[in-house]
């Protein structure tokens, strides 16, 4: 979730790393800082708040340096203030360190160091790590060797970047679970926690693997494992368009990414659809699918909601028992895992700490694992047995939109693939392929509801509480739609299957309450109509989301939005999220909320 940047070369290093950090603002942060090698020695400047606070200090200082590192912090240990911001010094002020992740044994180490006379300036676990590195460095060894030795004493998930005036032409970095990317240039080299920070400077990058230490100079990059053995890095060229990480004329990244969804669907389907069958490369051999007796989908947040769609699909289409787990709960509940089960990990970033912990438990128990991720080379993508990429491109807004649609779509393709392999009776794979082939156009048509969603947002702007209801797959989408409204507009919501209203939640209905009712599933509309009557009788208002062929729900709703019917129940339900994303966006806009970086939230949650 925090941002890391590093530069060594002939440019103004401080300006380069601050530009990199600005390109990582989408991760969410509460403070920033920079360390650089200056003619006067090793210097650190840092401030709580947004990057502009730090830029003002830098402008006064006017530093000249060819080596610098920078950090944007999302608080985990200690309040978001100047002292707790990164970088941190060691006891002697010899090294400056930035850190993503958590040091799990930092208290034990801190107590030991305090008894030895060390004084700490912050409340962070990161400063403890800096002191450990400094102690090793004080033995007269090289900086890279000091970092290698130090990380052997630390437990947890971390990515470190370290500089020192004693060896002014070096930056050293180390990774254990928290992502680090190396950028290769001519007479200059770069470090970042995510690829978009590097794209203005280089497209030649390498992902630093777990338990590796890298030495970065202006002339090259070398790496070794934690045991000291040298390893070869595997650079590759990034093919993203830089403009894909910019707003492209939209007011916010969230709105841009909602409008990107027709193209995202095309990218997701690219190379996977034939006329009568589909091809998902890199999956298990066909015989494996006959052996699997249960699916466990493990995810967090929006990805968890995508997993619920997968459960409904797999059980309805494939008659395959499927459970969905919150990643944060999975390994603490001693899950029952069949040797013939498949664990599916859904994650946009591929770096979600809770999901990675659950993945490693499954690997310990020798359970087959499959990843559905967006980021190539991410930790989940590399650690699972097989991976399916969503191919959604970079998502900048903290509130996920296009990643959710892509995840649900990949789960649909996976379901069709399994049905195709197992020759499931009653499943018409060709019909599914036809429906999904026309899906980009259906998403584009759903986007034409934007003005209607603007008007609905204005109409219901002052609703004290918003219910999100549905049945079947619509109930799954209701959870994701509610999360969007909470995330970006800070509106309290109540979400549940519509049939559960009378078992308690109905008590919350009062004059002015809004209920958003998903009604794309034709077989439950008559029941939903009864639920709507119950709401309206108690002063509630209803925004109905249904398909254009529905003649029932429009007649009983206060406001209605009609999406095209795709011919597939799963795709219809998924399509309904598009106008609901727009509704949440405009509710947030009219309420004056900070849409792309909602309060208290971060994009990629790399700590547990």
Q: What is the pLDDT of residues 565-587, one digit of tens each?
A: 999 999 999 999 999 999 999 99
Per-residue pLDDT at 501 exceeds 90: no
Residue 355: closest CA among 372, 376, 377: 372
Residue range 430-454: mean pLDDT, rounded: 96
Query: Which residues, listed in sequence order, are joined to residue 515 by a DSSP beta bridge?
Result: 467, 542
Note if 2 is an active site residue: yes
Per-residue confidence (pLDDT) for residue 417, from 0 to 100: 95
**Residue % of the chain over a pLDDT of 70:** 97
Options 2, 268, 408, 593, the catalytic residue: 2
Options 43, 218, 484, 603, the catalytic residue: 603
Strands 541-547 and 514-518: parallel
Per-residue confidence (pLDDT) for residue 240, from 0 to 100: 67
Per-residue pLDDT at 606 exceeds 60: no
Q: Binning pLDDT at 50, 70 and 90, where does residue 293 land? A: very high
Q: Domains of the chain by range and CATH?
A: 3-239 (3.60.20.10), 244-437 (3.40.50.10490), 443-597 (3.40.50.10490)
Q: Which residue in this structure is represented by tokens 């091809």?
A: 279
Per-residue pLDDT at 460 exceeds 70: yes
Q: Which residue in this structure is represented by tokens 């999956």?
A: 283
Q: Binning pLDDT at 50, 70 and 90, where does residue 322 land? A: very high
Per-residue confidence (pLDDT) for residue 27, from 0 to 100: 64
Residue range 259-270: mean pLDDT, rounded: 90
Per-residue confidence (pLDDT) for residue 557, from 0 to 100: 92
pTM to 2 decimals?
Answer: 0.75
Q: Binning pLDDT at 50, 70 and 90, where does residue 604 land? A: low
Q: Binning pLDDT at 50, 70 and 90, where does residue 241 land? A: low
Give the torsion sign (CA, 14, 15, 17, 21): positive
Per-residue confidence (pLDDT) for residue 1, from 0 to 100: 55
Q: Please say whether the beta carbons of 146 and 595 come within 8 A.
A: no
Per-residue confidence (pLDDT) for residue 526, from 0 to 100: 92
Peptide bond connecting 87 to the previous residue in cis, omega within 30 degrees of 0: yes
Long-range pairs of 139-143 with CB within 8 A, sequence gap ≥ 24: 142/167, 143/95, 143/167, 143/170, 143/172, 143/215
Note if 46 is an active site residue: no
Residue range 582-596: mean pLDDT, rounded: 96
Per-residue pLDDT at 608 exceeds 60: no
Q: Binning pLDDT at 50, 70 and 90, where does residue 363 land? A: very high
Q: Please write the tens of the pLDDT for every residue from 30-87.
A: 899 999 998 889 999 999 999 999 999 999 999 989 999 999 997 777 888 999 999 9
Residue range 345-366: mean pLDDT, rounded: 92
Give helix 261-269 / helix 402-422 axis angle, nearest 10°.
Answer: 30
- On average, the pLDDT of the chain sits at 92
Per-residue confidence (pLDDT) for residue 289, from 0 to 100: 95
Peptide bond connecting 297 to the previous residue in cis, omega within 30 degrees of 0: no
């Amino acid at each position: 979730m925090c941002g890391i940047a590093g530069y060594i070369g002939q440019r103004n290093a401080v300006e380069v790393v601050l530009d990199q950090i600005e390109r990582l603002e989408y991760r969410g942060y509460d403070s920033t800082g920079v360390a650089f090698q200056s003619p006067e020695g090793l210097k650190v400047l840092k401030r709580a708040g947004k990057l502009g606070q730090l830029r003002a200090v830098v402008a006064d200082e006017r530093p000249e340096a060819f080596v610098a590192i920078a950090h944007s912090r999302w608080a985990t240990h200690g309040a978001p203030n100047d002292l707790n911001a990164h970088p941190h010094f060691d006891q002697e002020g010899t090294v400056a360190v930035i850190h993503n992740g958590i040091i799990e044994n930092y208290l034990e180490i801190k107590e030991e160091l305090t008894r030895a006379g060390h004084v700490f300036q912050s409340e962070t676990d990161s400063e403890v790590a800096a002191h450990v590195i400094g102690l090793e460095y004080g033995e007269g060894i090289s900086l890279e060797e000091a970092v290698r030795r130090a990380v052997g004493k630390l437990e947890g998930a971390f990515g470190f970047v370290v500089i020192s005036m004693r060896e002014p032409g070096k930056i050293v970095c180390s990774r254990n679970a928290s992502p680090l990317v190396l950028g290769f240039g001519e007479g200059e080299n770069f470090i970042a926690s995510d690829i978009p920070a590097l794209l203005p400077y280089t497209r030649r990058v390498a992902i630093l693997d777990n338990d590796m230490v890298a030495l970065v100079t202006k002339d090259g990059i070398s790496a070794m494992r934690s045991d000291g053995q040298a390893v070869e890095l595997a650079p590759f060229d990034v093919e993203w368009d830089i403009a894909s990480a910019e707003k492209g004329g939209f007011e916010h990244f969230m709105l841009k990414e909602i409008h990107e969804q027709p193209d995202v669907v095309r990218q997701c389907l690219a190379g996977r659809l034939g006329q009568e069958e589909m091809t998902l490369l890199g999956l298990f051999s066909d015989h494996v699918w006959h052996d699997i007796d249960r699916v466990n989908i493990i995810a967090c947040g929006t990805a968890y909601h995508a997993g619920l769609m997968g459960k409904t699909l797999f059980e309805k289409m494939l008659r395959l028992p499927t459970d969905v787990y919150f990643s944060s709960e999975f390994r603490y509940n001693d899950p029952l895992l069949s040797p013939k089960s498949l664990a599916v990990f859904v994650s946009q970033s591929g770096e979600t700490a809770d999901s990675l912990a659950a993945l490693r438990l499954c690997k310990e128990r020798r359970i087959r694992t499959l990843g559905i991720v967006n980021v190539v080379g991410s930790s989940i993508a590399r650690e699972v047995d097989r991976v399916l990429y969503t191919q959604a491109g970079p998502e900048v807004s903290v509130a996920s939109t296009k990643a959710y649609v892509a995840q649900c779509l990949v789960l649909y393709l996976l379901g069709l693939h399994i049905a195709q392999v197992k020759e499931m009776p009653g499943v018409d794979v060709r019909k599914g392929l036809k429906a999904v082939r026309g899906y980009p156009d259906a998403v584009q048509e759903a986007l034409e509801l934007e003005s209607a969603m603007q008007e609905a947002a204005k109409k219901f702007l002052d609703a004290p509480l918003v219910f999100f209801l549905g049945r079947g797959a619509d109930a799954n989408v209701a959870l994701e739609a509610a999360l969007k409204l909470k995330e970006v507009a800070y509106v309290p919501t109540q979400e549940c299957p519509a049939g559960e209203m009378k078992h308690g939640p109905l008590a919350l209905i009062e004059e002015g309450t809004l209920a958003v009712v998903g009604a794309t599933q034709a077989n439950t509309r008559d029941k939903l109509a009864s639920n709507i009557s119950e709401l309206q009788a108690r002063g509630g208002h209803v925004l109905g989301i249904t398909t254009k062929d529905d003649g029932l729900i429009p007649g009983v709703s206060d406001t209605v939005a009609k999406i095209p019917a795709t011919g597939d129940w799963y795709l219809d339900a998924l399509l309904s999220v598009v106008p609901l994303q727009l509704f949440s966006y405009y509710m947030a806009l009219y309420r004056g909320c900070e849409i792309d970086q909602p309060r208290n939230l971060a994009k990629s949650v790399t700590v547990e």
